[in-house]
Amino acid sequence: MIELRDVSKSYQQGAPAINHINLKIEKGEFVFIVGNSGSGKSTMIKLLMKELDPTAGKIVINGQDLSTLKRRRIPKLRRMIGVVFQDFRLLKDRSVYDNIAFAEKVVGASSRTIRRRVPQMLNLVGLSEKYRSFPKELSGGEQQRVAIARALVNNPSILLADEPTGNLDPKNSWEIMKLLEEVNRRGTTVLVVTHNREIVDAMQKRVVTMNKGIIVSDEQKGGHYYADKYVSL
């Protein structure tokens, strides 16, 4: 499903953001990526989305070597990868319905498909009655639910969530994580980048810990958040 083979990413100055990483994530897994600021987590997400190219190594997603992927094929790659961000990134001048529908219009979905899929996603995230609301009328938790629905509306095989609870209170954070768990149960591979120690420890999933661009720990199901102990490495 996802494989990083001896992947490195260097910017113009400083140490490599990613340094000879090897990681394999199977179809249907739920994986937490944890680590302190500057550990390389966000760079990894950008590499998987092909917003960045690695300096060295190979990334393979669903059998596709990203290094050989032609530019015109990148949109197709991104259709199989849904992304959720900490700051929601909703279109403020559009309703909940239109925010979700926009993701389908971008990929050329028919009006009939949009009318079928958007209500399904609204039902999945528990916002069927809010379809006419605008982002400013929603709570933070509701906005994140819209963002998740938008990420899922094109039926991606992979969902990347970059600090999805970073702007939420504990109650809403747990609700979002339960929703991501349900998404995973339905077959989507889920990767969550987070600093939320309580959630990581409680959910008993695979935990990959990064520090200064390398993977320092990879605990299978039942892993814990140990990032702090690697600060001085």
The pLDDT tens digits for 54-104 are 999 999 999 989 988 888 888 888 888 999 988 888 999 999 999 999 999
Q: Indicate the pTM of the whole model.
A: 0.90
Return d(Cα 7, Cα 52) in angstroms, integer: 12
The phi, psi pair for 22, rounded to 5°, reads -120, 125
Return d(Cα 120, Cα 128) in angstroms, integer: 9
**Residue % of the chain over a pLDDT of 70:** 97
Residue 88 belongs to what H/E stretch? Answer: none
pLDDT band per the 50, 70, 90 thresholds, residue 144: very high
Q: Which of 109, 13, 16 is nearest to 55 (CA)?
A: 16
Return d(Cα 65, Cα 68) in angstroms, integer: 6
Surface-to-core class of residue 70, CB atoms within 10 Å of its CB (0-12 exposed, 13-18 middle, 19+ buried): exposed
